[in-house]
Amino acid sequence: MQKPHNIPEILAILENQYGRAEWFPRFSPIEELVQCILSQHTSDTNSLRAFANLMQRYRTWQSVVDAPVKELADTIRTGGLADSKAPRIQAVLRQIKAEQDDYNLDFLEDMSDTEARKRLMALPGVGPKTAAIVLCFAMGRPVIPVDTHIFRVAWRLGLIEKRIGEAKAHDALQALVPPELVFRFHVGLITHGRQICKALNPRCGVCPLTAHCQAYQSATEPSSGS
């Protein structure tokens, strides 16, 4: 298992390879939440197109809630799984409105990271990854969203154990990464997972992290590539 003090060194290598990520809010928290639901089990390109279609057709969140579910599903069809995502989006929006009497997540600002994540996960169909994405990307909180790329690279490096699974990996990685490095580390790891440390054919031959990689050192993963 890697020690916490190796995190800055790993990050420095990743940033030398891919550049340093700077945080800025892409969407408001509630927009990020809806976009994240749309992004499940599809590509960023498809989900962003579906989100743009939704925002263009419906000018308010109330109009999204009031829309016939089939109409909403047809609007977000490019994001995939539209027939299940449409009612989920409406259910999330209805609960937010019922609890806050408004369509926003401003109340999260006064909560700790742990409290805010718990409140988000109380919404219909919102799991740890979605909650972490909202907190990290929309609010700049030091919370690590763990997707399949983050999880794969982290256990190959030896930062976490593979057997704990993605859900528990959020807390495990959170305990290792200094808060001020969380966003940059997240972006570095996910970029590395997409470009080099791939699921089926990791490009170990060009990987700058082999000296830190437990899988590479123990030869439990393929160690060749280009």
Architecture of domain 4-21+145-218: Orthogonal Bundle (1.10)
Protein fold of 29-138: Endonuclease III; domain 1 (1.10.340)
Of 129, 162, 168, 198, the catalytic one is 129
Q: Give the model's confidence band at 218: pLDDT under 50 very low, under 70 low, under 90 confident, else very high.
A: confident
CB atoms within 10 A of CB 114: 11
Domain boundaries of the chain, sorted by first residue: 4-21+145-218, 29-138
pLDDT per residue as tens digits for the range 104-159: 999 999 999 999 999 999 999 899 999 999 999 999 999 999 999 999 999 999 99
The owner of tokens 């690590």 is 144
Domains 4-21+145-218 and 29-138 share a fold: no
6 by Cβ neighbours in 10 Å (0-12 / 13-18 / 19+) ranks as middle
Among candidate residues 191, 204, 121, 117, the one with its CA nearest the CA of residue 156: 204
DSSP-H helix ranges across the chain? 7-18, 29-39, 44-57, 61-66, 69-75, 82-100, 113-121, 128-133, 148-157, 165-176, 182-195, 214-218
pLDDT per residue as tens digits for the range 169-185: 999 999 999 999 999 99
Q: Give the model's confidence band at 4: pLDDT under 50 very low, under 70 low, under 90 confident, else very high.
A: very low
Instruction: Please report, as a single letter, which amino acid is at residue 145.
Output: P
Token pair, residue 150, equals 């983050």
pLDDT per residue as tens digits for the range 20-42: 999 999 899 999 999 999 998 88
Q: Average pLDDT, whole number, for the chain?
A: 92
pLDDT of residue 219: 64
Q: Taking 80 as the threshold, does the pLDDT of residue 210 lie above it? A: yes
Instruction: Estimate to the nearest angstrom the gap between the alpha carbon of 176 and the chain centroid.
Output: 18
Catalytic residue flag (residue 198): no
Q: What is the DSSP string of 121-146?
A: HTSTT--HHHHHHIIIIIT--S----
Q: Taking 80 as the threshold, does the pLDDT of residue 192 lie above it? A: yes
Percent of the chain clearing pLDDT 90 (strictly above): 87
Model's pTM, two decimal places? 0.88
Q: Taking 90 as the threshold, does the pLDDT of residue 226 lie above it? A: no
Angle at which helix 82-100 crosses helix 29-39, to 10 degrees, equals 160
